[in-house]
Structure 1
């Protein structure tokens, strides 16, 4: 990691990158980068959604001035990995019905209110339009408290990165 980060810093110093960041790093790995970084990461991109809050990481990044970008903001309902933990969630469904919004809008608005930037993927024009209609309203305190009660579930386990012969022998080592 150190050599890669040093090379990324060289790119930034040469003007080849406006900022540099990380993807799928937890508190432990970000802390390691910060021990030798002359340019701290501007951003970390991680799985984050209403069913995977990343509270520890959000707090750490806020303290360090690192922005959090959320991939899989709706839970990645794919066949290879992902879950319906967001889009089939009864709490989000109730909030959506009561507010006249879609479940996706509730989930995306929650991320915005956490100070994160969701990375949304859609090729459907109606969904793209609806995804942009999250900036002129806010979730109320009661709804935010309800969302805190959603069971937490990491959809991307990262099994392919775990090996007894590799640097990450357990999921705990990989994700800290």
Structure 2
């Protein structure tokens, strides 16, 4: 099968990318280089991850080492919640480009459909009296119009959203001159978001699945903070059985399950051996029976790993 997908704007996006969320700056530069050495051509970061400089260094080191051109690497970053206002989109994209040391990004996403008020560009989760300083007046349509300008200016080759609901996507699509090319959401075998998949397919919006392995590193925090039990996806008996039959790892089964459906995946790792294994999903194909078995694992909302804890906000995704 193809290793890339053509977005609605005509840009080609690799189906497997390296996720950089929670990757420490002192480790992510080498992780990015290891990924590019292993054949990745898609790197996903965000202003909120506080590691764009290190990600950019990894890309630059690899380009210098190999003599490859900038166009070889598909780079994604995201608008922080503190930039969700008129003038904020261009300001924070330019800040990201400066950190990445790039002239453009291949895809720019609205990170969350919620704005926050901050007095400091580095205070990505501003707090007031122990509560997040949420801007309840954030206008998603106005922010999207600003996103469209970023494509027109050539600062982003394509634009999209992350963590949006179907209702929010429908609102944007109804007025967009340039519709979203990508929706990035949590999606994996335990949380398959079938309604979202159907909506995006009908509107020619590609889906990037974050936490495609169930985000095992987040399990303890989610259980402690939200009292939400997170199933262990990598140890699921069905996933293990398929892996044994195919002679691959459970992680490879979970990633292949998604890319075989045309979904983009961004597994996160800083370990070179795991990084290399995570992109090694092109040499086997899951049978119809195996695909059906994996589809049966969907637990709906109870299978999710990411909860945002802002239930009082009308635009909160969960």
Counterpart of 2:185 in 1: which secondary structure? strand
Q: Please list, as runs of the form range in 1=range in 2, the aligned pairs for 1:77-88 lying within 5 A after superposition.
A: 77=216, 78=218, 79-81=220-222, 83-88=230-235
How many residue pairs get aligned? The number is 168
Aligned with residue 199 of structure 2, among 57, 60, 85: 60
Distance (Å, rounded) in 1 between the aligned partners of 2:279 and 2:306: 26
Q: How far did residue 52 of structure 1 move?
A: 0.9
Per the alignment, do residues 149 and 20 of structure 1 end up closer, same or farther by CA in structure 2, a change over 3 Å counting?
A: same
Matched residue, 1:156: 306
Matched residue, 2:317: 174
Q: How far did residue 25 of structure 1 move?
A: 1.0
Unaligned runs of 5+ in 1: none
Matched residue, 1:25: 164
Distance (Å, rounded) in 1 between the aligned partners of 2:189 and 2:171: 28
1:82-141 per-position Cα deviation (integer Å, ceiling 9, x unaligned): 834311211101111111110000000001012111111111111111112101221001
Matched residue, 2:242: 95
Residue 119 (structure 1) aligned with residue 266 (structure 2): yes
Matched residue, 2:181: 42
Unaligned runs of 5+ in 2: 1-139, 224-229
Distance (Å, rounded) in 1 between the aligned partners of 2:169 and 2:232: 27
With normalisation by structure 2, the TM-score equals 0.51
Distance (Å, rounded) in 1 between the aligned partners of 2:187 and 2:205: 15
Counterpart of 2:252 in 1: which secondary structure? helix
Q: Which has the larger radius of gyration?
A: 2
Distance (Å, rounded) in 1 between the aligned partners of 2:317 and 2:210: 18
Counterpart of 1:22 in 2: which secondary structure? strand
Structure with a larger share of its residues in strand: 2
Distance (Å, rounded) in 1 between the aligned partners of 2:240 and 2:165: 30
Conserved? CA contact 1:51–1:85, under 8 Å: no
Conserved? CA contact 2:187–2:210, under 8 Å: yes
Q: How far did residue 151 of structure 1 move?
A: 3.8
Distance (Å, rounded) in 2 between the aligned partners of 1:26 and 1:81: 21
Distance (Å, rounded) in 1 between the aligned partners of 2:147 and 2:211: 25
Distance (Å, rounded) in 2 between the aligned partners of 1:45 and 1:124: 24
CA RMSD after TM alignment: 1.5
Distance (Å, rounded) in 1 between the aligned partners of 2:260 and 2:222: 26
With normalisation by structure 1, the TM-score equals 0.89
Distance (Å, rounded) in 1 between the aligned partners of 2:149 and 2:298: 42
Distance (Å, rounded) in 2 between the aligned partners of 1:154 and 1:60: 19
